[in-house]
Every structure is written in C-alpha cells, then in structure tokens.
Amino acid sequence: VKKRGFRFLRWTWRLTYLSAIAGLGYVGYGIYEMRNPEDQPDPHPSKKTLVVLGTGWGAVSLLKKLDTENYNVIVVSPRNYFLFTPLLPSCTVGTIEHRSIMEPIRNFLRHKKAAVKFYEAEATKIDYENRVVYIDDDSEIKGDSSKTQVPFDMLVVGVGIPGVRENGLFLKEVGDAQRIRARIMDCCETATFKDQSEEEKKRLLHMVVVGGGPTGVEFAGELQDFFHSDLKKWLPEIKDNFHVTLVEALPNVLPMFSKQLIDYTEQTFKEETITIRTKTMVKNVTDKYIEAESNGPDGKKVLERIPFGLLVWATGNALRPIVKDLINQIPAQKDSRRGLAVNEYLVVKGTENVWAVGDCAVANYAPTAQVAAQEGAFLARMFNNMAKTQEIDSQLAELSIAQEKAPGKEARDQIFMEIKELQKRLRRVKQIGPFEYSHQGSLAYIGSEKAVADISWFSGNIASGGTVTYIFWRSAYLSMCFSTRNRVLVIMDWVKAKVFGRDVSRV
C-alpha cells in the first residue's frame, strides 16, 4: 500500500510538472504570437476624427482602453515611445538601461482593434476656432513634407509639462538621464586627471541636487548607491571627495509624505552621508557654483556659494508653449497659470470637444502618473460610452420608424419591447459620473535598498519605510511596467547590476 501511495505521489508530481511546462509553453507561445498582430481594418471616414496629443501616461492610458473602432484615431507626439518615468532615476546611474522602460508606441498601437495613425511630430499650435492642429516634424531627418495640419472633431491634449531647464540638468526624459549618467562619469574622470588641485577635485566631485521632491530624493539615493557599490571600487582615488548634497527651499524634503517617513528619509540620508540642506533657496546658478540663501545663526539671511561638478535641477515644472497658446485663445482660461483648467469631465473649460489629461490639465490633483493614468482611463470609458450612445440613438430612431409602419398590433408590441430594452441600455450607458481620483498612495526609493511608502488602505493609511518596503517598491513598479517585455528587461537589468556592478564607461 505504501509503495502504491509513493507511485501515486510520483505520478501526481510528474503530471503537475508537465502541466506547468505546458502552461509556460502556452503563455510563451501567446507572447510570441502577439508579435504578429492581425491586420487591422482602416477606420471608416464617416467616423469622427479623434486626435490625441502625446504618448505619455495620460494619452497611453486613454489609448489602451479606447475602442478604436468607434473613431478615426490619430496620435501625434515627438516621442514614438511610452516612458515608464517612475524608474527613470535608476537610469541615471545605470541600475536600469533606458530601453528597458521604453515601450514603442507602434508595437502597442498595432494591437488595437482598428488601425490608429501615428505621426512622430510636435504639435506646435491648436487652432481651436478652425478645429485644426499644426504639426511639425522636428527630428533630424526631414522629408519634403515636414510641417502640416491635422483637422479634428475631438481633441485630447496630453502633452505633459517640461522641466525647468535653464539651470543645470533636469530629469524628465530619457535624454536627461543619459546626460546625467555621462556627466557623473565625466566629473569622476576629470577629478582624477593628472595634477588636479585638491580644491578642484572637491568641486568636481560635489554632486548637487536642487529640489527635495520625490525626483530629487530618488536621484540622490540612486547616486549615493552608485558611489557605494561601484564608483569607489573602480576609482578608489575619488573616495574622500565624492559627496552628494540635496538642497530644498522648504523646511523638509518629500512634503507629500507623512512626518514619520520624512524623518526616516532624512535619517537614512544622514547615515548614507548625503547632506540635506533644507530651508535653503537657490537664487542663482553659474557654471561652477550655485548661490543659495538660508538663515544664518543670528536669523539673518545669508547668501552662500556652493561649488559643484554636477547640478541636477529637480524643482518642478513649467508650461509647454502649445498649452500657453491655447490658454491665450480661450477667454475662459484667462486665469489659468499652471495648465489648462478642466471641468469634472476633463473638458477644457470654455471649449467643446477638447479634453486635457495628465500634467497639463489642472483639476486640483498633483501632477503624477497615477492621476494621469486614471484620467486617461476615464476618458476612454467616456468616449466608448459616447460611441455606444450614438449607436443606440440611431437604432432607436430606426425602431420608432419601423413601429409606425408595423402592420399589426403584435408587431408593434414586439418593437415596443425592443425600444424599452434599448432605452434601458441607453440609461445604463449614459450613467457615467464625473471623474473621481482614487489615491492609491505614494512610494519613493531613498537609496541603500530602502524605500518609503504611504499606502491608502480601505479608509486608512499605512506608512512604512525600510528594506521590506523596498521589496514592495520593486514588485509594485515591476507590476506597473507597461508590458511583459519591459518587466523581463527590468528584472534582467537588476540582476546584471547586482552580479557585474553598474557600467562606469562614459558614452
């Protein structure tokens, strides 16, 4: 009996093993097949033209959920990829390679039900009166046609906000992360150049980050990790002079986190020897030093020169010219300063058929990916419903004509029942409420394999910081990556950085 029991267990184990392999094979084949999408039907010219500006969080979240069969969809963006910004600070030091967090927009659009047109171009002007967007191919290679116009029936503006670029380096796009990565290595190599003075070494190896929001904090943490795990091993001569300073105008960093996590972050930075200079406002920037104002011991304002080799400016954002221009065209937007004022359905106030999502829309939410993604998904639902409503309306019109012409009472009653059913469906479809943001919480990496998290849990809040939170941070961001391809690449980069260390070559 014992022997038979073992044999049974062995067979069960073999069967489980085989089914697991078959399951994995099936998933793998599915992914492989997805590389060869089916032919997409072209949109019908009778459908409305929906133009979407941007390929960021807001626009892509809208496109993901939008039923493209309902509209003639055109996407315009100077960036032919989606960028998973939460992992961008990791690209500045090579923990992750930038291509691992980019998803080509073409791959994604080719899997939609109906074809979507994409133009790699910058929208330079929205002519609201004439319902036309002017677009301009500002890439290096230009064809005979490089400036044109795209008419629209419906327009979604999801162009985001650019960084304040006039000072130092910013961290917003892939190019910024690449420039920072090259500059860090340039500073280190230049500091070790023959006969460099001690003072100049100190300056070159002083890495200053201005802005203690999550971008500044995450970057400072990643930079200190890079120094600890790699730089000081490969360039031991920089060990005594390499230093990271974070400058923040407010009394503390990470203002959106709870007090306990702010204290935890400041304490962790102290242990990691990152200097935090709070209540210090940068007033002026030159190519070698910043001038920062703070309160002296006597309470009087002092202006201090802080020399730097690398300066990363992470102090929030400005407005894109196209958004400024649209604001100027619409009288109802005359008081808009931070972006396009929208109503609770994300319609740009003072317009018809123009919506705004993400950072360029002002709806009393923080400019985060979380908000942009929820707004995009909301618009997709609303547009899908609008198309369904139109379809039901025309069916209802046809049915009421048929009802009038119906020969007998029985046929009329039959049509009456159908109309009732459709009216019920119409009420359900029309039941889309205004946009409501649901805050899932805030997460930030603070270096030395620690993260902080303020997570909304039912009606309460959980605040946690440390290594377990760091594991949570990694799994949360991994699950939020755009595609399976991105997830696999990010995992491979993490493993590669752990096993071989980060790459210190300057490209």
Closest to ligand FAD by CB, 59 or 185: 59
Which pair of structure tokens corresponds to residue 111? 């899997």
Cα 306 to chain centroid, rounded:
32
Closest to ligand NAI by CB, 165 or 334: 165
H, E, C per residue of 363-411 = CCCCCCHHHHHHHHHHHHHHHHHHHHHHHHHHHHHHHHHHHHHCCCHHH
90 is a contact residue toward ligand NAI (CB under 6 A): no
Instruction: Indicate which of ligand FAD, ligand NAI, none lies near residue 88 (CB less than 5 to 8 Å, by partner kind).
Output: ligand FAD
Closest separation in Å from C-beta 173 to ligand NAI: 13
How many Å apart are CA 413 and CA 403, to the nearest integer?
Answer: 8
Closest to ligand FAD by CB, 57 or 226: 57
Closest to ligand NAI by CB, 154 or 244: 244
451 is a contact residue toward ligand NAI (CB under 6 A): no
Crossing angle of helices 57-65 and 369-405, in 10° steps, is 30
Spell out where 54-202 has E strands. 72-77, 81-83, 102-104, 117-120, 122-127, 132-136, 147-151, 154-157
How many Å apart are CA 331 and CA 318, to the nearest integer?
Answer: 21
Instruction: Decide: 464 and 452 in contact? Cβ < 8 Å.
Output: yes
Say how many residues touch ligand FAD, by CB under 6 A.
33
How would you classify the pairing of strands 450-457 and 441-447?
antiparallel
Closest to ligand NAI by CB, 73 or 209: 209
Closest separation in Å from C-beta 504 to ligand NAI: 25
116 is a contact residue toward ligand FAD (CB under 6 A): no
Query: Binding ligand FAD by CB under 6 A: which of 101, 126, 159, 377?
Result: 159
Residues between 233 and 262 that touch ligand NAI (CB under 6 A): 247-250, 255-256
Helix residue ranges, H only, 192-338: 198-204, 214-226, 232-234, 259-271, 321-329
Residues between 361 and 390 that touch ligand NAI (CB under 6 A): 366-368
322 is a contact residue toward ligand NAI (CB under 6 A): no
Instruction: Indicate which of ligand NAI, ligand FAD, none lies near residue 384 (CB less than 5 to 8 Å, by partner kind).
Output: none
Query: Binding ligand NAI by CB under 6 A: which of 62, 209, 444, 452?
Result: 444
How many Å apart are CA 488 and CA 415, to the nearest integer?
Answer: 55
How many Å apart are CA 386 and CA 390, to the nearest integer?
Answer: 6
Cα distances from 214 to residues 209, 220, 463, in angstroms, run 12, 10, 16
Which pair of structure tokens corresponds to residue 4? 């038979």
Binding mask 272-291 for ligand NAI (x = CB under 6 A): ---------xx---------
Instruction: Decide: 51 and 74 in contact? Cβ < 8 Å.
Output: yes
Residues between 56 and 95 that touch ligand FAD (CB under 6 A): 56-59, 76-79, 85-86, 88-89
How many Å apart are CA 385 and CA 67, to the nearest integer?
Answer: 10
Query: Binding ligand FAD by CB under 6 A: which of 103, 120, 122, 225?
Result: 122
372 is a contact residue toward ligand FAD (CB under 6 A): yes
Binding mask 301-340 for ligand FAD (x = CB under 6 A): -------------------x-x------------------
Closest separation in Å from C-beta 19 to ligand FAD: 38
How would you classify the pairing of strands 122-127 and 117-120?
unpaired
* Of 207, 181, 97, 29, the residue nearest 486 (C-alpha): 97
Residue 271 neighbours by CB under 8 Å, 6+ apart? 448
359 is a contact residue toward ligand FAD (CB under 6 A): yes
Instruction: Indicate which of ligand NAI, ligand FAD, none lies near residue 57 (CB less than 5 to 8 Å, by partner kind).
Output: ligand FAD
Footprint on this chain of ligand NAI (rule: CB under 6 A): 86, 210-216, 218, 247-250, 255-256, 281-282, 314-316, 366-368, 442-444
Footprint on this chain of ligand FAD (rule: CB under 6 A): 53-59, 76-79, 85-86, 88-89, 122-123, 158-160, 171-172, 215, 320, 322, 358-360, 367-370, 372
